[in-house]
Structure 1
């Protein structure tokens, strides 16, 4: 959990220091300015002097040297103002970072700390950490669910916005999974707990996002390396400004020592150091609030520079559940579908469930006798004294040309076709397919608008089905009949061609390809441990519609980071140029430093305004 500094600790010393500063102006006493410096600058001096002792020259070291120097040359008043302004900038910076992290605090508030549990036949109100796997929670309408679990009694609508970012409530009933931090809106539920409090989905999200926000992105690592060399250079420049004019040009020592101190202040890399982290923290927090878990600043930056995205088919571009798309009845027998479903109920074929579901509204009173499954062909059985067959062309002795043409037509659409018949004739056709998600084509179009040059479908399915899915979704390239190792090989090939490549999959059978891609993006991170562990980015709601939002957020983050770094360096250079005519003062220096710091912070906070409009609801 992110600690929040108490109000009094953050603002008391600043307020007291301000009072001494005002008193110093009223009574014109240097002792009052000295008190303002000591009280307001204590945290700064504590760090700055320690760093100076270790020869670790950072922005606090520079400020400490500048303020001590101002006191030595008698500029108590300006030294006090510099301390106050620096303290104000630190407080505002802390407030901005708090605001950027608010999304995580909001997630924390969603997770209840206690729940009503049935244990040994008694109802007990227990703290979340005392609830065990296997306990039964009682959740009333309007209550938050405290633990991950499975519904064992009751139905309701559940608002999962805290987990998936999807504000539209979903129906949940017996045997459905529910998550801690979600809201039970309608019915009374009994839920069997399946995870301990530290293992719940929301706990993992909070932990992963906090880790991600703390991780340094490549641009931040660059800034840190730059600051490491930049700071000693600024100290050297300040020494030269203070010493060279008096020694070689007869200028006044006090005037040019003052200028040297101003160089130290204006040279503080505050804005440069804060330019990247505030943007990264804000973007990752905004993503989490919208159901996109980004596991680090490096992945956020990489996603913003993607040139190509590869997609798995099943469960990614498609819904992952086979359905009957076409039922062609060549007879007048209205019971044919029911007969076929009765036969399929005896089958272990993966598509049988789709046919049974299609016929669920029909009477279920058929008795199947002498059932036989023929490997590679289909099934047979006797229903009401007649032998029926359901399978592929190989199961039948003779199939009319017109029927074969219809089968080919359906197969070209990426559908698996089964023929139903008896020992005398062909009775009908059943076409089954894994339906394309309604949003897939819009998502692909939006990605192309955002500048993704190549979209690729990688699937283990046959080429005809893959081509049909590609036509329906609009992807640029198709690679079919791939084994997991083939997908891995192809991802490496794409990286060689495009540099940065993302792989979007379900996080299970696509794990090798997800790991090899520049950015691995998993579908359905909510409740899927594999997705949370394997992927670099997880779309918590099992829907592609968040992918364009993720790319847009990443690109906006890269843009703002570049703006912040440029602003920081340009403003520093402009302020340093004031040294040439001798116009640089401590006041101007601290205003320039604080002003740019606030500017880059506010610019980073603009990432909170990037909305999930890409969901295209």
Structure 2
């Protein structure tokens, strides 16, 4: 839908379209400029109805029940001609030229009839769209701006104020043109994402390579992506290695190395090497497509402030129109003033009546903020969540995978007696190579980094919850918990109590390594803190978050160590899911609005119980995209301060716009009733206020 510059435009189209024969359901979105129609009418009749109201509809997609009718898809509609595209601009320019000529003729003292003719042409050219849309609005029992402006222009001409009528029409036409263009710039913030998705893919089928439409790709297809090309579909790397720029999906500015088995996303840019990718999703289910869909849905969801504005406008406009009628009729009856003076004031009041600036004040800010966030890898799933995030004072963090990397690594290694570092690590890695435990993988990975080659083992045996043992070179070695070694009667563990205590206080898990008689060394493993976690907590405090708390199921001493490292004062360890729920409830009592940050899979009850659930790493997690209110698409907690800051700025701008719009309306209502305002000033104020709130909202596109 092209040409809509305010929410009332969308509502008018929806009402008119709803009365068209064959239309069962219709939904028009001002924010996304899309109309969805359930119908059995012809496409031509739908497009003609939209044209009659003053806008242009381009078919994006049709799903037809009749199998013998060819289905149209995106891009099937012919590109509009120059006149179709720029008709409003040309008519506005003509209106301005004839208005200027009329003013020259009038003030030059020339023929009055000539000036009236010039003004009339200016009114007809500049007011064509407004009059047509106003007529259809009236038919659908709507008092929109187009109808009110048309009445004002006709009324001005009827009482002989031709120059006023022409000026009003021209200013209104210019204002609509400017509003449409500035709103279009705001909408491009999300449309830019659509351009990242390729339309075609090079696929290998039956031993041959050919280019096919992305829509025809099937799960399991092998696609070939050359250096410099965008990846056409979500998939898994089957062969090759390359750095991939994932900014369109995750907002990450630094390219990520992708190799065998790694996940890649549609729309991301393959930079340095060739990749062969197995398709894992259909086109409609790709991460980029779902992200675009969710953002468009979010832009169209009404925030609390927008719901208030809509309710206010529904009563405000009819009341002001009634007031205008009363002003035109009754004051002259009691004062003896000419009716023309009071009719003129009533006409000016009609121009003031339509709350364009007020109605557009919230959606433009929401569209700009959500679009900006999406480009930077933050998916905010609605205006209500944007506003609520701007009011958050406390944030609760899950530990594992949020503040920490979620992958345990070896952080300390201590051989005893004559055992060397290399020998100790070789024994540990050889035994743990047979185990699937996460701590075992940490040791084997550390061994690989150090160039250790695992030795063959015999008689491997795992002891659940304790450790494991195996024979290496006919010597029995064990690795496991200190308590296990104590229960087996190993001597010399007392001398390790100091070092064990230090390691435990730092939140590390310690494993002892021993032969059949003695402890020969120990290894400490820990879940390391993300490099950006401490800086993120500091940035959140600067952004206005008064309180941060960490909730984890890990031991309290581990919770304490991690909390101290990242700068969080309040922490709770040994938390079961129901206990995390209790902590969230306590936080809500203390701070009213609370956000919870997790990985989108675990801690679902706590995420659901919080006012705002924030999921990490949503690009690879379907459940995060579906369940969280805000999704950080990359696995980067550093995006959180930006999200808080953007939400706070958006909330502030929304309030500014609402108050500014109300005050401008109130001021001109009083000036008009007092006779201190005129028609062109009224339309200038209305259009100017709408443009100012749009431009103020567009500032959110630049927040970084």
Shorter-chain TM-score above 0.5: yes
Q: What are the residue-to-residue correspondences of 1:289-304 with 2, within 5 Å?
A: 289-304=375-390
Partner residue, 1:600: 693
CA deviation after TM superposition for structure 1 residue 22, in Å = 4.3
Partner residue, 2:41: none
SS of residue in 2 equivalent to 1:356:
helix
The question of whether the paired residues in 1 share the 8 Å contact of 2:235 and 2:281 is answered with yes
> Could you give the per-residue CA deviations for residues 199-255 of structure 1, whole angstroms, max 9, x where no partner exists?
111111111111111111111111111111111221133223323331111111111
The question of whether the paired residues in 2 share the 8 Å contact of 1:62 and 1:268 is answered with yes
Partner residue, 1:150: 236
Give the counterpart of 1:341 among 400, 424, 429.
Answer: 429
The question of whether the paired residues in 1 share the 8 Å contact of 2:391 and 2:593 is answered with yes
Distance 2:425 2:88 in 1: 73
Partner residue, 1:442: 535
**2:362 aligned with 1:276, yes or no?**
yes
Partner residue, 1:221: 307
CA deviation after TM superposition for structure 1 residue 166, in Å = 1.1
Give the counterpart of 1:57 among 143, 146, 149.
Answer: 143
Q: What are the residue-to-residue correspondences of 1:163-562 with 2, within 5 Å?
A: 163-330=249-416, 331-333=418-420, 334-360=422-448, 361-396=450-485, 397-398=489-490, 399-562=492-655
Partner residue, 1:77: 163
- C-alpha distance 84-425 of structure 1, shift in aligned 2 (>3 A): same
> Could you give the per-residue CA deviations for residues 250-292 of structure 1, whole angstroms, max 9, x where no partner exists?
1111111101111111232111111111111111111111111
Distance 1:541 1:193 in 2: 21
Structure 2 length-normalised TM:
0.84
Distance 1:491 1:48 in 2: 52
The question of whether the paired residues in 1 share the 8 Å contact of 2:616 and 2:632 is answered with yes
Gaps of 5+ in 2: 1-31, 35-55, 58-79, 106-113
SS of residue in 1 equivalent to 2:544:
coil
The question of whether the paired residues in 1 share the 8 Å contact of 2:426 and 2:454 is answered with no
**2:219 aligned with 1:141, yes or no?**
no
Distance 2:395 2:454 in 1: 49
SS of residue in 1 equivalent to 2:438:
coil
Give the counterpart of 1:111 among 179, 197, 205.
Answer: 197
Structure 1 length-normalised TM:
0.95
SS of residue in 1 equivalent to 2:209:
strand
- C-alpha distance 274-298 of structure 1, shift in aligned 2 (>3 A): same
Distance 2:454 2:126 in 1: 85
CA deviation after TM superposition for structure 1 residue 187, in Å = 0.5
More deviation, 484-493/423-432:
484-493
Partner residue, 1:585: 678
Distance 1:15 1:428 in 2: 86
> Could you give the per-residue CA deviations for residues 303-346 of structure 1, whole angstroms, max 9, x where no partner exists?
00001111111110000111111111124433110111000111
Tell me how large the CA RMSD over aligned residues is: 1.9
Pick 1 or 2: higher relative contact order, CA cutoff 8 A, min separation 6.
1
- C-alpha distance 148-10 of structure 1, shift in aligned 2 (>3 A): farther
> Could you give the per-residue CA deviations for residues 510-553 of structure 1, whole angstroms, max 9, x where no partner exists?
22222221111110111211111111111111111000000000
More deviation, 392-401/369-378:
392-401
Partner residue, 1:93: 179
The question of whether the paired residues in 2 share the 8 Å contact of 1:58 and 1:228 is answered with no
The question of whether the paired residues in 2 share the 8 Å contact of 1:97 and 1:281 is answered with no
CA deviation after TM superposition for structure 1 residue 366, in Å = 1.0
SS of residue in 1 equivalent to 2:228:
coil
SS of residue in 2 equivalent to 1:544:
coil
CA deviation after TM superposition for structure 1 residue 18, in Å = 3.5
**2:210 aligned with 1:131, yes or no?**
no
Distance 1:63 1:458 in 2: 58
Distance 1:177 1:473 in 2: 30
The question of whether the paired residues in 2 share the 8 Å contact of 1:291 and 1:541 is answered with yes
Gaps of 5+ in 1: 612-617
CA deviation after TM superposition for structure 1 residue 32, in Å = 4.2
Distance 2:157 2:88 in 1: 25
- C-alpha distance 580-109 of structure 1, shift in aligned 2 (>3 A): closer
CA deviation after TM superposition for structure 1 residue 151, in Å = 0.7
The question of whether the paired residues in 2 share the 8 Å contact of 1:484 and 1:509 is answered with no
Distance 1:376 1:128 in 2: 50
The question of whether the paired residues in 2 share the 8 Å contact of 1:275 and 1:565 is answered with yes
SS of residue in 2 equivalent to 1:526:
helix
**2:93 aligned with 1:15, yes or no?**
yes
The question of whether the paired residues in 1 share the 8 Å contact of 2:429 and 2:454 is answered with no
Q: How many residue pairs end up in the alignment?
A: 611
Distance 1:517 1:406 in 2: 40
SS of residue in 2 equivalent to 1:335:
helix
Distance 2:569 2:320 in 1: 52
More deviation, 399-408/60-69:
60-69
Distance 2:529 2:454 in 1: 33
The question of whether the paired residues in 2 share the 8 Å contact of 1:242 and 1:257 is answered with yes
The question of whether the paired residues in 2 share the 8 Å contact of 1:59 and 1:270 is answered with yes
More deviation, 21-30/275-284:
21-30
CA deviation after TM superposition for structure 1 residue 41, in Å = 2.4
